Amino acid sequence: MMRTDSVFLKACRREPVPYTPVWIMRQAGRYMKSYRDIRSKVSFMELCKNKELASEVTVRAAEQLGVDAAIIFSDILLIAEPMGLKLEYDTPQGPAIRGGISTKEQVDRIPEVRPEETLAFVADAVRLTRARLKPDLPLIGFCGAPFTLGAYLIEGGGSKQFVRTKQWIKDDAGAWHALMEKLVRGLAGYLKMQVAAGADALQIFDSWAGCLSPQEYRDYALPHSQALIRAVGNKVPIIYFGTGTAPFLKEFASAGADVIGVDSQIGLNAAWDIIGPQKAIQGNLDPQILFSTPELIEQEVKKILDQADGRPGHIFNLGHGILPATPEENASALVEIVHRLSRTASGK
């Protein structure tokens, strides 16, 4: 079978499929023993920058789970380094970005990101992973959305209230937009590089978009996601994922992506009504459900499949990344359940 005819890529294009494709956000990660074993020997950053190891964890997670797509092992924050900022992962508070930015002058001094020069290790990992994966299994490349990355750079790490970011946006919208435009240029090249190296689809993670009001999203985030998606073009399907996006899902869907990733705070059918039938949808099982039993997981999967109602263009996934304490066997059970129930539903 040709990879372009895989259930995952067909669903991205809203073509009919014999069963619902499924993959899991953060499918290669700490909930997996084989991942923890590798991480006990190397730092997270080394893992990302070593193509052998990055491709090993990518391929292993996809094969162990039996998912319909692999996602390259990397991280949305790696782009901070070529922007001249210091990135640290092994802090108790999670990833930290030192030397953060706070003024217009600093934005102007941030170098333009030239991904072929400074993020070539990601292209190398994509190429090697593509060569090692089963030929018919699609590989997803990814990056952070301009807003989410901008917020990360300004906060210097994760945040609950995004006080500094929101202050910045209000006090100096010009500097904010300049930062966004610089990010968009770097990210567009970064995504195109991943496609040239063999990525079959792309996902843009706007994980923090939900901290914005609909008006703020429209004014300060949407135009830049739109510019990024336009700049990348339509060579491969683009998935645009966010959390907390229910209050402005229509605007979110207008960014131009082919597939919209939704979290668990809105029903899949309600989300699809808002997004409209011209787009595919990805989601949206609550990651917490994977802490229960296979019987309960099956009930919840069925609810989501019932809402999708056999419409072409549904890619099953969690509403957010899989949690580190998830029992490994429940992740595999999820994949088996989605395949089995969706096959029965379509009578095949």
Rounded Cα–Cα distance for residues 304 and 283 (Å): 9
Rounded Cα–Cα distance for residues 4 and 7 (Å): 9
Catalytic residue chosen out of the listed positions 19, 31, 35, 152: 152
Residue number of the CB atom closest to ligand CP3: 207
Written as one letter, the residue type at 309 is D
Q: Is 29 one of the binding residues for ligand CP3 (CB under 6 A)?
A: yes
Rounded Cα–Cα distance for residues 257 and 279 (Å): 8
Rounded Cα–Cα distance for residues 139 and 125 (Å): 11
Written as one letter, the residue type at 183 is L
Rounded Cα–Cα distance for residues 54 and 348 (Å): 36
Q: Is 31 one of the binding residues for ligand CP3 (CB under 6 A)?
A: no
Interface stretch with ligand CP3, choices 27-35, 105-113, 249-257, 306-314 (CB under 6 A): 27-35
**152 is an active site residue:** yes
Q: Is 150 one of the binding residues for ligand CP3 (CB under 6 A)?
A: no
For residue 220, give the nearest of 159, 160, 279, 167 by alpha carbon: 167
Q: Is 205 one of the binding residues for ligand CP3 (CB under 6 A)?
A: yes
Residue 12 or 87 having the CB closest to ligand CP3: 87
**185 is an active site residue:** no
Q: Is 71 one of the binding residues for ligand CP3 (CB under 6 A)?
A: yes
**340 is an active site residue:** no
| Smallest gap from residue 304 Cβ to ligand CP3 (A) | 20
Residue 27 or 165 having the CB closest to ligand CP3: 27
**30 is an active site residue:** yes
Catalytic residue chosen out of the listed positions 14, 19, 35, 75: 75
Enumerate residues 278-317 that contact ligand CP3 by CB under 6 A: none
In sequence order, what DSSP letters do the residues of 54-69 get, joined into one string? HHHHHHHHHHHHT-S-
Q: Is 27 one of the binding residues for ligand CP3 (CB under 6 A)?
A: yes
Q: Is 158 one of the binding residues for ligand CP3 (CB under 6 A)?
A: yes
Torsion of CA 287, 237, 206, 168, to 10 degrees: 180
The dihedral sign for the CA sequence 82, 83, 84, 90: negative
Residue 243 or 342 having the CB closest to ligand CP3: 243
Written as one letter, the residue type at 302 is K
**130 is an active site residue:** no
Q: 206 and 212 in contact (C-beta within 8 Å)?
A: no
Interface stretch with ligand CP3, choices 69-77, 173-181, 257-265, 291-299 (CB under 6 A): 69-77
Place of tokens 């379509």: 346
Q: Choose, by CB under 6 A, the member of 11, 12, 53, 77 that binds ligand CP3.
A: 77
* Cα 173 to Cα 29, 105, 269, distances in angstroms: 37, 14, 36
Active site residues: 26, 30, 39, 75, 152
Note the residues at the interface with ligand CP3 (CB under 6 A): 25-30, 39, 44, 71, 73-77, 89, 94-95, 142, 158, 205, 207, 320-321
